[in-house]
């Protein structure tokens, strides 16, 4: 029996629902395919203490007791596991750093290995479960997979409540460069990030990879306070992918920094028309609305953003500040109390 098929009857209702969805996805989409897989199958489970990796040495035993069950942080990637099927069901939302898991899966995957991921569908105002860190838009998830070395990213199921994704391991070293540049930017070192991108010697063959490269270049310019170059890089990104919500969001931020509120609002609204749950755009629109004196509307948007990132203290502080400014102290108290109850002790 799979480790999370047998849960206690007193488990929270939300977790029962997720477990039931996992079982249904395994039975309906994965078990038959896994049993036809000759090589190893691995599945990630996101638990409060951190993600664990379950390993079956061949697909015929998938769904039974795994050959190994260990924290993913303890996996030695030099052991050449060469997994042919990689699975992560309703886990990215419950992991503080899902990109680190995607990268780990890439390292342990065989050439052309298939990855299957299930995620919940985000929407503004959605209430997250206590164990969830964040909801990610489709674009954000695809971007993270691309930067971690996967291609052919698509949705097998695109329902109102969950999405089932598939991807394939890319065989070039290009994703490692994108990941290293992203890590440098997160650390605040735009110069190091730029050097990584300049050292990319392999051709980027997919539209997704070229788009992510352009966005990382834009981020380097932004962090280096080169707004003109950043603007041009974002425009180039949209020339590659006119539906890139993050590029529109970046243009909105640049216009806001320049005091062009109307243009900024237009860009943020365009981003949200593509990805309604994009937190950066929700937060950016809230800032512009506040600057225009529309504080009630700003409060609504920052609440939506905080709902999707309940552990983000900056968003929580914005909710409190704006709510108190417009006299919604009781609503703020309820919101903060509820948000605090969702955070781990």
**From CA 266, how far away is CA 194, in angstroms rounded?**
30
Q: Between 111 and 268, whose confidence is greater?
A: 268
pTM exceeding 0.95: no
Q: What is the mean pLDDT of residues 295-302?
A: 96
Question: Which of residues 227 and 158 earns the better pLDDT score?
Answer: 227
Q: Which of 99-113, 172-186, 209-223 has the lowest mean pLDDT?
A: 172-186
Is the pLDDT assigned to residue 42 strictly greater than 60? yes
| Four-point Cα dihedral 279, 281, 287, 291, nearest 10 | -160
Would you state the pLDDT for residue 183? Answer: 95
Closest CA to 227 of 205, 259, 201: 259
The per-residue pLDDT for 5 is 41
DSSP 34-82: HHT--S-EEEEEEETTEEEEEEESSGGGTTS--SEEEEGGG--GGG---
What pLDDT digit, counting tens, does each position of 108-158 carry?
Answer: 999 889 999 999 888 887 878 888 899 999 999 999 999 999 999 998 888
CA dist 102 and 44 (Å) reads 10
pLDDT tens profile 155-180:
888 888 889 999 999 887 777 889 99
- pLDDT above 70: percentage of residues in the chain: 92
**Beta pairing class for 83-89 and 41-47:** parallel
Q: What is the pLDDT of residue 76?
A: 64
Q: Any alpha helices (H) in 199-294, and if so which ranges?
A: 207-223, 227-240, 245-257, 261-274, 279-291
- The pLDDT tens digits for 183-203 are 999 999 999 999 999 988 777
């Amino acid at each position: 029996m799979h480790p999370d098929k047998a849960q206690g009857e007193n488990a929270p209702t939300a977790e029962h629902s997720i477990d039931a969805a996992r079982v249904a996805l395994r039975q309906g989409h994965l078990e038959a395919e896994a049993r036809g897989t000759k090589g190893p199958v691995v599945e990630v489970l996101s638990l409060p203490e951190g993600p664990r990796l379950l390993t079956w040495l061949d697909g015929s035993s998938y769904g039974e007791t795994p050959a190994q069950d260990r924290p993913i942080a303890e996996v030695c990637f030099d052991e050449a596991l060469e997994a042919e099927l990689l699975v992560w069901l309703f886990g990215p939302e419950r992991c503080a750093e899902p990109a680190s898991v995607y990268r780990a899966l890439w390292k342990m995957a065989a050439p052309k290995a298939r990855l299957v991921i299930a995620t919940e569908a985000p929407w503004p105002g959605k209430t997250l479960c206590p164990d969830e860190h964040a909801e990610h838009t489709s674009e954000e998830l695809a971007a993270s997979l691309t930067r971690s070395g996967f291609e052919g990213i698509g949705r097998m199921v695109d329902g109102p409540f969950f999405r089932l994704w598939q991807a394939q391991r890319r065989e070039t070293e290009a994703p490692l460069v994108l990941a290293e540049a992203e890590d440098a930017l997160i650390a605040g070192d735009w110069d190091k990030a730029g050097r990584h991108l300049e050292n990319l010697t392999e051709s980027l063959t997919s539209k997704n990879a070229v788009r992510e490269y352009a966005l990382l270049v834009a981020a380097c310019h932004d962090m280096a306070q080169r707004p003109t170059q950043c603007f041009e890089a974002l425009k180039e990104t949209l020339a590659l992918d006119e539906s890139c919500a993050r590029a529109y969001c970046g243009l909105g931020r640049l216009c806001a920094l320049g005091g062009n509120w109307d243009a900024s609002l237009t860009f943020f609204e365009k981003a949200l028309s593509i990805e309604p749950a994009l937190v950066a755009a929700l937060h950016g629109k809230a800032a512009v609305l506040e600057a225009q004196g529309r504080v009630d509307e700003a409060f609504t948007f920052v609440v939506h953003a905080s709902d999707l990132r309940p552990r983000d203290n900056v968003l929580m502080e914005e909710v409190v500040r704006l709510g108190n400014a417009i006299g919604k102290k009781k609503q703020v108290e309820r919101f903060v109390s509820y948000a605090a109850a969702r955070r781990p002790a």
